[in-house]
Amino acid sequence: MNVLHLGNETLRQKAVPVEEITDEIRALVSEMFDTMEKEEGVGLAAPQVDRSIRLFVVKADDGVKRVFINPQIIATSQETCGYEEGCLSIPKFYEEVIRPERVTVQAKNENGRRFTLEAEGFLARVIQHEYDHLDGILFIDRIAPDKKEKIEQKFLKHAEKKEG
């Protein structure tokens, strides 16, 4: 699987709900974990692999593989914290992003079982980052406009050189 990069329109679309959890969806989940690990990421959203559906996978610092299908963030903490984020869709660029420290999310897993997860720290951050992808939001949208513009220009300039 190829990971889409900044500039691809799919990354900016609001993803549609998964209608039914099929063998095809489970195969996609498996491929996404393989791609995420190959790219040395900790999370990967379906829009990043050109599938505009509400699904993402995570394997954060606890090493547990988690699948989120049609997730909904139902609560976030008042307390926030900053942490340097990167993204497989904007490789080699990192910037501090302020996000809530804790998050509660409801979703289904690859077997269609509903669950509610309360996460904090790094896992909460990864969940929020991947959830943003489902709404067409990239981490650079959550930083100062001048920093965002600088990253976009550098990234797209670098991408043009690669293609040329």
Radius of gyration of the chain (CA): 15
The H-or-E segment that residue 127 falls in is: helix 121-134
Question: How many whole angstroms separate alpha carbon 107 and alpha carbon 137?
Answer: 19
Which of the residues are catalytic? 130
Could you tell me the two tokens for 91?
């490789």
Nearest by Cα to 43 from 28, 25, 26, 55: 55
Question: How many whole angstroms separate alpha carbon 111 and alpha carbon 67?
Answer: 10
Entry field: residues in the chain: 164
What stretches of 42-144 show up as alpha helix (H) in DSSP? 121-134
Question: How many whole angstroms separate alpha carbon 113 and alpha carbon 123?
Answer: 20
40 neighbors 3 (Cβ within 8 angstroms): no
